Structure 1
Amino acid sequence: MAFGMLFLAEMGDKTQLAVFTLVTQYNKPLPIFLGASLALVMVTLIGALFGNLVARYVPTAHLKLIAGILFVGIGIFVLLEAVPDVLRQLGRG
């Protein structure tokens, strides 16, 4: 279940695009794959350990609410950051 959820969540995200860019830039897919894989393993380990610690003190419903608010906030931030760029590009087109 964890594999499936992470696989779908990571598909097309910034990390995958960064790996794609690095491979096209340096043409060394194996070292880049190994580095990116190790980074994902470390981030997942930190998330699992920290999540376990936090779950002892904060109810799951509160964690879901906080996570949802953070995702919406980040989404709004990204959208607001992208709007001027899109408007600038439309003006050139």
Structure 2
Amino acid sequence: MDWKIFFTIFASVFIAELGDKTQLATMLFAADKAVSKYTVFFAASAALIVASAIGVLAGTLLSEYINPKYLQYVAGVGFILIGVYTLYTAG
């Protein structure tokens, strides 16, 4: 395993997930006193694992047909467009 790649991916995903709606939804579920915190933790963890698996599979399939460099461009433009849309709707 390439640990440099591992920690780069870990840091990127960790920072992206902090404070997002997924974390907020998880906090809301955990705030319910009638719900087991273990259930919340394991369900949220499983959901993130499945979502990540879909991302890995999609990236693997797309890279068979599209140059990964172009995928990076598309992802970058997508993030920029989401940021612009978020700023536009906030004002």
Is 1:15 aligned to 2:18, yes or no? no
Structure 1 residue 79: Cα displacement: 1.5
* Counterpart residue number, 1:69: 77
Runs of 4+ in 1 over 6 A off after TM superposition: none
Percent identity (aligned):
37
Match of 1:6 among 13, 20, 40: 13
Extract unaligned runs of 5+ from structure 1.
Answer: 84-93
1:14 Cα deviation from its structure 2 partner: 1.9
> Is 2:41 aligned against 1:33?
yes
Q: Say how many residue pairs are matched.
A: 82
**Per-residue CA shift, 1:43-66, capped at 9, x if unaligned?**
011111111010111111110110
* Amino acid corresponding to residue 17 of structure 2 in structure 1: E
Structure 2: runs of 5+ lacking an equivalent: 1-5
2:3 equivalent in structure 1: none
| TM-score, normalised by the number of residues in structure 2 | 0.78
**Which residue in the other structure is 1:90 paired with?**
none
Q: Which of these two proteins has the greater Rg computed from alpha carbons?
A: 1
Rounded to whole Å, the distance in 2 between the matches of 1:40 and 1:54 is 21
Normalising by structure 1, we get a TM-score of: 0.76
Q: Give the distance between the partners of 2:26 and 2:90, measured in 1 at CA.
A: 22
Q: Supply the distance in 1 between the matched residues of 2:28 and 2:85 (Cα, whole angstroms).
A: 24
Greater fraction helix: 1
Q: How far has the Cα of 1:81 moved from its partner? A: 1.8
